[in-house]
Structures are given as structure tokens and as C-alpha cells.
Structure 1
């Protein structure tokens, strides 16, 4: 049965390829690149310029028109290159509010056939089956970053699908203690990961409300990532979203500064509301981008969510455009929480290194590789996130490793098919003479998975 499912998934992938192989060439596709703390890996002309650091050498995203004539607000934006721009369901205007979106669904095959169908602590594509991951809608009025005059904008993001559970915030999608509000189905639900107003000009951007974090490399929206699966660092080492204020100041053509005051990690309202502080910078060179960001504040302990202690986390992401076709990314994260270990007996630490290598084969095909080491020093970070996962609440002190390689196929500007093979293994620290195992429902130290999904922009 398992082999037949794998053969069926492979047949779907081959059918997509053969049905599009003879499609008309639509022009040069965007180069493989992603700047730290953005979600525009695939072409997204609607993305807010304030969500990006100063342009890198391989930026493919079309900027919003500056100082457009008032009449342009009432008409569809004229396409500069119809062969490259994705088709949009809603008319895209030069100014005012625009609506865009995408759908993302995929299939994951676990070669070890876990009885629960869960892929251990691997998240997003966490099931050994097909999943409808994201129906993602964005309504945005982008601010004009080309003028010295202050102007305003805003953004609302809606995510429906199996990925909703990974991006909820306390007191918003859930109660302050983590109980369900409108999402009572553990497999599918609705999240609202962004809801903010924004003011700014050519040197400033200030967001007020609910927004994605600036820490890390991988992001929640599926069209912001090369791979279907995610790194342990992204899921367990960093926050996803914040509520509060986040500012960006353009210090020079090469350097922009980040600053913010937020209600900690992924929380609007929680048992103890304390300010958390964000600070960092992004430096953009000729072929390099370096981003470093820190968040510090009181956060709940893993084993007692009513007890809050100091937590410090930083993330460094370095991007190097080696050539027109090759790109390398290095990421290092470190986190520490005072008295955050199990029982509060000692401080807790987690840290790791991610490395990515991407190669643009041609206009339609791209190859990628990710290698990761993530250490959960005290067994307080990595666990099963979805409540019906048999690993939910489990602890695994030790080292997690994963190697992932795969291809992206983009026959049109709207459609991308992602395929990957991933190998995970765990080198643990025995507790009380026993070693908890994270894979195949707690029976293995390693696992191999194959994943394939598609993203369609509209």
C-alpha cells in the first residue's frame, strides 16, 4: 500500500512535468535568491517594500511605482513584462489596496510507515499522507518608500489549511493559556498571522499590530521557501510572529536598522504580558547580505507555562550570491532561557547552524540543498506540535541533524512544483538511563521522507 502511494505521487509529478514541458517559454524567471527576513522567494510583486532590506544584486521583485498619478489608483496596473508577471485573480493597482493569494498542497511519503502517520517532530508537512497546507490571502496597501513624505499603509494575511496550527498566537487564535478558540479541529483551521497598520517614507517604516518576526531565514508562507519541509531552527528555535511595534530605519544605502517593542513570542494576550525588545540590522553589499537580529524578554518555561523567565535569542543570516546561477546561505541561531530547563533547575540553551546551496539550472528548473544541525541542549524545545501527534509534550535532549535536497519546477510564473528527499537523524542524551527517540512514533533515531507539493499564485 505504501509503495503504491509513492508510485501514485511520482506519477502526479511526472504528469505535471510532461503536461507543461511543451509550454511556451515565458522569459527569464527570477534568480534563486532569498534575502533574510523576507517572504518573497517566488515572484510576489505585491510584497511590501518595507518587508525587505535594501535591494540585493539579484532582486527580481518589481518595485511599486512612486508618486503615481491619482488616476492610476482607479485603474489596473500596466504590466511591464506580460510574459513574466503571474496572472492575478484581482486587478492590481499602482496604489491603494490590492488582494493577492496562493494555494499550497502536497504529499509526503515516510519510508518507515509510522502507525500514527506523523513524521516525528518534522513540522508543516508533518503527516505521512497528503495535506492541504495553505490557502493564503493577502490584502495590502503598500507604503511608498521612494518619497520623503510620510504616508500610510497596512496589511492583513489569512491562512487556512493544515499549517494554521504552527502560526497561532496566544490570546488571538487561542486563549491566553493556549486553549482553542475558533479552531477546534487539530488538522485544519484558520490563522491570521499578520494584521498591521504601517507608516513610513524613504528612510523609515513603522508597523503597529501583528506581524512576522525578523529573525531567521525560512518563513511561514509556502511561496517564501525553496523546500516543502522546514528546518528545526525555524520551528523550534525562533518566534513566528509578534504583536506590538516594529520599526526599520535606513541608515545608509548599505545598512538598515531594526527595532521593536513586542509582547514576546507569538502572543497578543498571555498569562504574563511583558515587553520584549527587538534590535538588529541588515547590511547589503555588492554580492552579499548579512542580517543579525536579537529578541530579549520574559517568556514562559517549557514545563510550566505560568512561570516566566528571561529569554535571549539571536539569529544571523548571511547570503552570498556566488555567481548568476549559484547562491549560498549560512544561518546561525542561539537561544538561552534563565531557569528554563525541566523543573527550572538550570538554564536552558538551544543553538544550531543551517547551510543552503541553490543552483539555477535554467528558466524553469532550480536545485537546492539544505544541511542542518540543531541542538536542544536541555530537551525543552523540540517536541510534537500538533496535539494528536503521539510525541506532543515529549522531550528530546540532544542533537538533531537533517539533509534535504530537491528541485523546483516553474513552468509558468503562477505555478511551482517542489520535490525533495530528506533524511533526519538524532543523537540524544539519555535521561535516567533511557533515551527518548523522536521518529517512527518513538522507536527510531532516524527517518527518510519524500515530499512533493505545488504552489499556485492567484
Structure 2
């Protein structure tokens, strides 16, 4: 079988643990699933996109931080969201949410596409995510090894961005069970997990640890996504992913996977993930990298290296700042297949909690597609003029928004986003990335809602 090396890697890692995989002596305390990437800095909110609760020190912050904090005030009572399915203290639980929205484009392109902007890539109403989760969490507060697992199912227009070769797609990357270019089904996570207070090991299909923004809508402040997330990083992996708590401040990530977004593909090669998360009193720093063979735009598989650095700073209970830097490079990855290709960028986020119902946010981004091999049109359908096109140059975007959450179940997100491009087209029919290849900039107005159930 093409991916026998994955099985071998899994058995090697588990065997090296040297401890019996037994159930915990006590039942784990269940918490609602955190939709952030594993071991990445916390998103602007714990669960819902609005981030209604005041910003505080991370729950994983080292114990010594308590000494440098003022005496804690009595914690305010919070309301848990209503759930369609009864939530148990241990065992498997089912949760979910629905996310839908509308985007308007100031230039109203005839095709209806908002250029390379995703996930709200069309200037119309979209049912982005009907998202279901089945999960048995592991107990990370016991020395005993215990097991769990998770499966995520996504239906909606966002399915196209989370597909894997050999799973939702064929090994060559063509459509398998989804024939509609607008609505379809994806299973972005399907894994078993074992762990204890210092370890977590996932085997199967899981989200990447690189980057800051995530696929599930309720893990993000904004409706639209940064170029770094969409074009600079993988979305998911198949393989083995581990996390080891080296100290109160430092956790280490390691993994062996079948590259970017693939169960099986034309050429299966192991990719290697390594990184760390450092947690301070008011700061979190995460660095993660992946290295392995990946396909180029000309076809051959060559060495690709990508890393992501994310720094989070909580200035107060109301103000939070995030800095992200991504870098990627691939041997013989340019459009001539002769020189290396590179992409890199910087994101900055600033969030302000106004009150229990309102939160404001700002995002500014510069993303450089140095050789025009990353940013393109992603939804293959009739009338998509950017599909297959490449743009060598600088992409900039500034986004401002408000989140409103009148209840624990409902969040409404509004945003205004301005994009512009400085560079040249180097492949395909589109000369410029916006307004069906005719403009170098555009202005978007968006509103969407997230309802937990």
C-alpha cells in the first residue's frame, strides 16, 4: 500500500512511549471542543467568533504567572450555549453550528467571484458551513494514559477549501464524491487520540498546527480569511501528530504526515512537522514548520519548507494583539520549473472587547507571492476567470469588523475589507486578480451569522 510508511511511523511512535494505554482512573471532565489549531496561540475567542468574554491569561499559562497578577476578582457568571444533544461528563458528545452570510462587492464582477478572497469568494448569499462534531476528549489532567477521538463533518460552500487528495478527491486531485462546485461535503478531521497530562498523540486526519486562522467559522473573528491561511499553509494532514508538555511554559509539537492535504496522492512521501508553543503570563509564542516533497505547478514533486510564527499579547482584559509571519519555499517550484519559488507575509490583528455583547477587530496583511505560484482562483466552475492564473507580486488587505453576540448561541459578524495588488500576472487568462481580471483592487462588505447547537 502506498502509505505503509504511515502505519510504520505510527507503530514506532506508540511503541516508543513504553507505557500501557489504559483508561484513566477517573472520568475526564468534558469541555466544549476548542476549534483552534492544536497548540497554536489562542484565537480571539474561546469558542464563538465574537469573543465575548474579557481577555485573560491563557488557561495553559504557567503557574508562576499567578505571582505577578493582581488578586483575582470574583468571576462573573457566564451562560453556556444551548445544545441540541445532551452533553455528558465523559464519553462521546455531539455538537455543531451553522454559518451563513452575504458579501457585496463594490465592483460587482460579472462572474460573481471576489477574486482570490476566500471563504466568502462570491458576492452573494452563501451557506458556508453546516458543521457537526462527534468527540470524546482525552483527560489532560491525569498521569494515566487514556483515549479519545474526533470526527468533523462539514457541508456547505466551504467544503472545497478543505478537501484531501485520496479522500474527498482522487489521488490526482480530481472530484470524487462532490460534483457540485458550490455545495458539497467534506470530512476535515477523523482521528483517534491517546494522552495524559504531558502527552497527546493523534492518529488519522486532523487540522494543521501551522498558522492562526482556522477552518471552523466559530474559531475566527472575521468572515473572510487572510491570504496566508488560504495560500501559504496546509489545511489538514493525514498521519501522526504529537504534543509533549516539556514544562509549564513549553510544549513541543512533532509529527509524520503524508504532506499537505492528502491521504494518498500521485507520489506519497512523508512530511515532517516540528514546533513549539511558549506560554508566558500575558504572551503566547508558537512556531511550527513542515518539510517534505510536494507537487509543483509544473508537476514534479520537490522539497518544500514552510513555517509559521504566531505571537499573541494580551495588553489588558479588553485589548489583544496578534502578530503572524509565514514563509514558504520550494525547490524548482517556479512556473519554469527551473528556480525555487517563495511566498511569505505578515499579518497583524488587534481586538477590543467593548462589552459583553460587542467586540471590534482589525486585520492588516501583506502577502508576497514571489513567483506567482500560490494565489489563484480556487473554485473550479464555469465563469471563474482566475482558475489557473498566477500573480507574481504583493497582495495587501485591511479589514475592520464588529462582532455582536446577543446570546451564547448566536454571533453576528460584520466586516469591511479592502484588497489591492502590486505586481504582474504571469500565467492564465486574468491579467489582474480582481473584477474578473480587470482591476488591481476591490472593496467588500460582508455580514454573516454563526449559530451553535
Provide the alpha-carbon RMSD of the alignment: 2.1
What TM-score, normalized to structure 2? 0.84
Match of 1:37 in 2: 40
What whole-Å deviation, never above 9, does each CA across 1:279-303 have from its counterpart, x for those lacking one?
A: 0000000000000000000000023
* Alignment of 1:103 onto 2:98: yes
Unmatched 5+ residue regions in structure 1?
1-32, 46-54, 61-79
Residues 281 and 254 of structure 1: is their aligned pair in 2 closer, same or farther, counting only changes over 3 Å? Answer: same
2:313 aligns with 320
Q: Which runs of 4+ in 1 moved over 6 A?
A: 33-36
- Where do 1:246-285 residues align within 5 Å? 246-285=241-280
* CA distance in 2: counterparts of 1:383 and 1:92, whole angstroms: 42
Residues 150-165 of structure 1: pairs in structure 2 closer than 5 A? 150-165=145-160
Q: In structure 2, the residue corresponding to 1:396 is in which secondary structure?
A: strand
Which residue pairs with 1:343 in the alignment? 336
CA shift at 1:41, angstroms? 5.0
Distance 2:301 2:37 in 1: 35
Aligned partners of 1:414 and 1:81: how far apart in 2?
18
Cα offset, 1:123, TM superposition: 1.1
Residue 126, structure 1, aligned to residue 113, structure 2: no
Alpha-carbon contact 1:386-1:392 (below 8 Å) kept: yes
Partner of 1:440: 435
- Per-residue deviation, residues 96-146 of structure 1 (Å, max 9, x unmatched): 000000000000000100000000000110001000000000000000000
Residue in 2 that maps onto 1:418: 413
Structure 1 residue aligned with 2:284: 289
1:394 aligns with 2:371: no
Say yes or no: does 1:180 pair with 2:180.
Answer: no
Matches within 5 A, 1:380-391: 380-388=373-381, 389-391=384-386
Q: Could you tell me how far apart the structure 1 residues matched to 2:109 and 2:331 are? A: 36
CA distance in 1, matches of 2:413, 2:179: 30
Matched, 1:379 2:379: no
Paired residues of 2:242 and 2:253 also in contact (CA < 8 A):
yes
CA contact (8 A) 1:240 1:265 kept: yes
Query: TM-score, normalised on structure 1?
Result: 0.83
Where relative contact order (Cα < 8 A, 6+ residues apart) is larger, the structure is 2
Alignment-derived partner of residue 448 in structure 2 = 453
Change (3 A) 1:220 1:456: same
- Which among 83, 86, 89 is matched to residue 84 of structure 2? 89
Are 1:35 and 1:289, in contact at CA under 8 Å, matched by a contact in 2?
A: no
Q: Any idea what SS the aligned residue of 2:200 has?
A: strand
SS at match of 2:378: coil
Shift of 1:430: 6.0
